[in-house]
Chain A
Amino acid sequence: MFSLFRPKQQIYPSGSLSSEAWRRLRKNKLAMISIVFLTILSLLCFLAPLLPIRAWDAIEFVEEPIPPSAAYWFGTDGLGRDLFSRVLYGGRVSLSVGIIASSMAVTIGVLYGATSGFFAGKIDRWMMRFVDFMYSIPSYFVIIMIQVVFQVHNILFLFAMLSLFQWLGSARVVRSQILSLRERDFVTALHASGISSAGVILRHMIPNVLGIVAVYATLTVPGIMLQEAFLSFIGIGFQARGSDGVMKDIPSWGSLLGQGVATFETTPWLLIFPAVLFSMTLLAISFLGDGLRDALDPNLRK
C-alpha cells in the first residue's frame, strides 16, 4: 500500500511534509523549541486527571486567596481552588478547541475551496459569493445568539460553532491554488484517462495543496483559541460535570483570564499565570506555523 504512494510523492514533492522539509524544519531552532514546548504542555494538560494534583473544582476553605507558594504553585482563587490544576484542566479545553475546531474548519475549507476552484466559472463565482456573504455576517453575534437560545453544552456542537466562520480563509486560499493547478498538464491527463471529478479533486489536487493547508491550519489555531477565550471571557463558555456530578462552568484559559482580570489589582497571580501560559502557547503555535511555511516554501526548494 505504502509503496503505491511513493512514486507520486517523488513527482510532486510539495504534496506532504517530505523528508527534505522535515530536515529544514529541524534546523529551525525556534520551531523546534515550540514543538517541544507544545508537546510537554499538551502531555501535562491531557494527562491532568492522572497527575497527583487537586481536582479542578475542589473547594477548600480559605480566609483569602493564597498567593503562589510551595503547596499551591500558582496560588488559589477566592474559593481556595488550586490555580495550577485549574490551569492544566483549562488547557485541556483550550488546546482541544484549538486542535479539533481548527481541523474541522480547515477540512470544510479545503473541500469547499477545492470544489469551487475545480469547477471554476459560474459555480466558482456563486460559491465565492457565498463566502463573501459569510464574511459579512457578524460571526460573534451569531455564535452568542446560538449559544443563548439553544443552551447546548454538547462539546461537539461547540466545536462546530467555533469552526462555523473559520473555514472561510482556508477555502479562499485553497481555491486560488486549485484554480492554477487545474490548468496544469497532469490534470488534463487525469481527465483524459477518465477519472471522475471527485477522484481528481480528492486524490490528486488536494494532496498537492496540503503543504499550504498545513501552514494555514497552524495559523488558524490561534484565531480559534482566541475566539474561545473571548466567548469564555464574556461568560458564554463550556460547561461540564464536576467531580461531584453537578454541571458547572469548566475552566478554560479564556474563563480563567476573565476571572483574573476581574480581580487583577488584589490577586494579580490569577491573571498572570493563565495569561503567560496562553500567550506562550499562541506564540509557540505561530512560530511553528512560520517554521512550517519556511520549510515548505517552494521558492527555497532546489
Chain B
Amino acid sequence: MLRFVIRRLLSAIPMIIAVMTACFFIIRMAPGSPFDRDSVELSAEVKANLRAQYGFDKPLYEQYLIFMKNGLQGEFGESYSYRGQSVSEIIREALPVSATIGFLSLTVSLLIGVTLGAICAVRQNSIIDYFTVGFAALGRSIPPMVLAPILVEFLAVRLGWLPAAGWGNGAWNYLIGPVLCLALYDITTIARLSRGSLLEILRSKHLITARAKGLPETSVIIIHALREAMLPVVTYLGPAAAGILVGTVVIEQVFNIPGLGRYWVSAAVNRDYTLLLGILTLNAVLLTIMNTLSDIAVGLLDPRIRMR
C-alpha cells in the first residue's frame, strides 16, 4: 500500500511542473504586454522601467527558469494590478476563505449525496426515489448564478434567517448560504452516481454470500455494498474540486465574500501575469493533490487497483 501511495505522489510532481510550464507559455505567447492598456498611455521610458522592474527585459527562457525556481518555493513576485502587494500575500489572505467554503461544500455534498443515493438505491421506485431523482435533475439544471440570488432573496431578505451577504469572519450563519449554493450541483451528481453504482452492486453475487452468512441487511449494505459503490463517487471528487474553484467566482460575487474568486477573473482580465501565474500554480497544485488523494482513496477502497 505504501508503495502505491509513494508511486502516486511521485507521478504528481511532473504533472504540476508540466501544467506550470504550459500556463507560463500560454500567457507569455500572448501578443502585447500588460503595460500597453488602451486606457492609460505610458511613455516609452516608463514602460521600459516597468519591464525592467518585472524582469520582462530578460530572455524568455531566463524568465521561465526564474518563474519555476521561485514558483516551486511559493514566490511569484509583486502583483501588477494590486501595487505593493506580493502575490503570496494576496493568496495567503484569500485562500483560507475560499478553502473553507470549498471544503465545507464538498463535505456537505458528500454526506447528503451519498445518503440520498443510498436511500434511493435501497428503496428503488419508491416515492423518496422519484422525489430525489427529480430533485437531482432540477438541481443540475439551475445554474448557481440563478440559485444564489434567489436564495438570498428568500432566506435573507424575506425571512431574515440568514445574513444577506458578507463573510463575518467565517461565522456559521454567514457560511450556510454560499455552502448550500455551491454544494447543490455536487449533491445531485453524487446522489445520482452512488444510486447508480449501488443499484448495480446490490445485484452482485458476493452480496448474496454476505446475506447467506446471516448478516443483517443494514450491515450488508453499509459494510459490503457501500464500500464498492463509493468508487465512482471518490473518482468524481477530483474534478468536483476543480468545479468548486470555478463555482466560487459566482458565489463570492453574489454573497460578497473576500475569497480568491474575485482575484481569479480580474487577474485574467487585467493581464496581471504574476497574480495569474500564482493562482494558476496554486490551482494546479490543489487539483493534483485532490486527484492524487482520490486515487489513493480508490486504492484503499478497492484492493484490485493498488495491486496493478
Please measure, in the bound complex, the distance between the C-alpha atom of A280 and the C-alpha atom of B271, giving whole angstroms: 37
Interface string of A132-174 (1 = CB under 8 A from B): 1101111011101100111000000000000000000000000
Tell me if B140 and A222 are in contact (CB < 8 A): yes
Interface size on A, residues (CB 8 A): 36
* Residue B222, interface by CB 8 Å: no
Determine the chain B residues whose CB is within 8 A of the CB of A144 once the complex forms: 265, 268-269
* Residue A83, interface by CB 8 Å: no
Determine the chain A residues whose CB is within 8 A of the CB of B142 once the complex forms: 275, 279
Determine the chain B residues whose CB is within 8 A of the CB of A135 once the complex forms: 239
Task: Specify the chain B residue showing the minimal Cβ separation from A268.
Answer: B153
Tell me if A226 and B143 are in contact (CB < 8 A): yes
Tally of A-B residue pairs with Cβ under 8 A? Answer: 100
**Interfacial residues of chain A within 266-302, with CB under 8 A of chain B in the complex:** 268, 271, 275, 278-280, 282-283, 286-287
Task: Specify the chain A residue showing the minimal Cβ separation from B247.
Answer: A230
Contact A141 to B140, CB < 8 A, known contacts A148-B268, A261-B145, A264-B149: no
Please measure, in the bound complex, the distance between the C-alpha atom of A234 and the C-alpha atom of B248, giving whole angstroms: 12
Q: How far is the CB of A88 from chain B (nearest CB, A)?
A: 19
Tell me if A222 and B15 are in contact (CB < 8 A): no
Determine the chain B residues whose CB is within 8 A of the CB of A279 once the complex forms: 138, 141-143, 146
Determine the chain B residues whose CB is within 8 A of the CB of A133 once the complex forms: 15, 18-19, 22
Tell me if A145 and B146 are in contact (CB < 8 A): no
* Residue B95, interface by CB 8 Å: no
**Interfacial residues of chain B within 236-284, with CB under 8 A of chain A in the complex:** 239, 242, 245-246, 249-250, 254, 264-265, 268-269, 271, 276, 279-280, 283-284
Looking at chain B, what size class is its interface with the partner chain? 35 or more
Tell me if A271 and B15 are in contact (CB < 8 A): no
Task: Specify the chain A residue showing the minimal Cβ separation from B249.
Answer: A234
Please measure, in the bound complex, the distance between the C-alpha atom of A81 and the C-alpha atom of B138, giving whole angstroms: 30
Determine the chain A residues whose CB is within 8 A of the CB of B264 once the complex forms: 141
Q: Which of B26-34, B67-75, B82-90 contacts A (4 or more CB under 8 A)?
A: B26-34
Please measure, in the bound complex, the distance between the C-alpha atom of A265 and the C-alpha atom of B149, giving whole angstroms: 9
* Residue B291, interface by CB 8 Å: yes
* Residue A90, interface by CB 8 Å: no
Contact A265 to B153, CB < 8 A, known contacts A141-B276, A258-B145: yes
Contact A136 to B288, CB < 8 A, known contacts A142-B26, A149-B31, A286-B137: yes
Determine the chain B residues whose CB is within 8 A of the CB of A233 once the complex forms: 145, 250
* Residue A95, interface by CB 8 Å: no
Q: How far is the CB of B79 from chain A (nearest CB, A)?
A: 16
Give the contacting residue for A271; candidates B149, B271, B276; CB below 8 A.
B149
Tell me if B283 and A229 are in contact (CB < 8 A): no
Tell me if A145 and B145 are in contact (CB < 8 A): no
Please measure, in the bound complex, the distance between the C-alpha atom of A221 and the C-alpha atom of B18, giving whole angstroms: 30
Determine the chain A residues whose CB is within 8 A of the CB of B246 once the complex forms: 140, 230
Tell me if A136 and B15 are in contact (CB < 8 A): yes
Determine the chain B residues whose CB is within 8 A of the CB of A268 once the complex forms: 153
Tell me if A282 and B280 are in contact (CB < 8 A): no
Task: Specify the chain A residue showing the minimal Cβ separation from B279.
Answer: A141
Q: How far is the CB of A146 from chain B (nearest CB, A)?
A: 8
* Residue B157, interface by CB 8 Å: yes
Q: How far is the CB of B137 from chain A (nearest CB, A)?
A: 6
Please measure, in the bound complex, the distance between the C-alpha atom of A136 and the C-alpha atom of B292, giving whole angstroms: 12
Q: How far is the CB of A233 from chain B (nearest CB, A)?
A: 5
* Residue A257, interface by CB 8 Å: yes
* Residue B287, interface by CB 8 Å: yes
Interface string of A66-98 (1 = CB under 8 A from B): 000000000000000000000000000000000
Task: Specify the chain B residue showing the minimal Cβ separation from A283.
Answer: B141
* Residue B226, interface by CB 8 Å: no
Excluding A135-B239, A261-B145, 12 further A-B contacts by CB distance (< 8 Å) are: A133-B18, A136-B15, A137-B22, A141-B264, A145-B30, A148-B271, A150-B30, A257-B146, A261-B146, A264-B150, A271-B150, A275-B143
- Which residues of chain A have a CB within 8 Å of any CB of chain B? 132-133, 135-138, 140-142, 144-145, 148-150, 222, 226, 229-230, 233-234, 236, 257-258, 261, 264-265, 268, 271, 275, 278-280, 282-283, 286-287
- Which residues of chain B have a CB within 8 Å of any CB of chain A? 15, 18-19, 22-23, 26-27, 30-32, 137-138, 140-143, 145-146, 148-150, 153, 157, 239, 242, 245-246, 249-250, 254, 264-265, 268-269, 271, 276, 279-280, 283-284, 287-288, 291
Can you list 26 pairs linking A and B with CB atoms under 8 Å apart? A136-B288, A137-B284, A138-B242, A141-B264, A141-B276, A145-B26, A229-B143, A230-B145, A230-B249, A233-B250, A234-B249, A236-B269, A261-B145, A261-B146, A261-B149, A265-B153, A271-B146, A275-B143, A279-B138, A279-B146, A280-B141, A282-B141, A283-B138, A283-B141, A286-B141, A287-B137
For the complex of A and B, list the 10 residue pairs with the smallest distance between their C-beta atoms, beginning with the closest: A282-B141, A149-B30, A283-B141, A144-B268, A275-B146, A279-B141, A264-B149, A138-B283, A261-B149, A279-B142
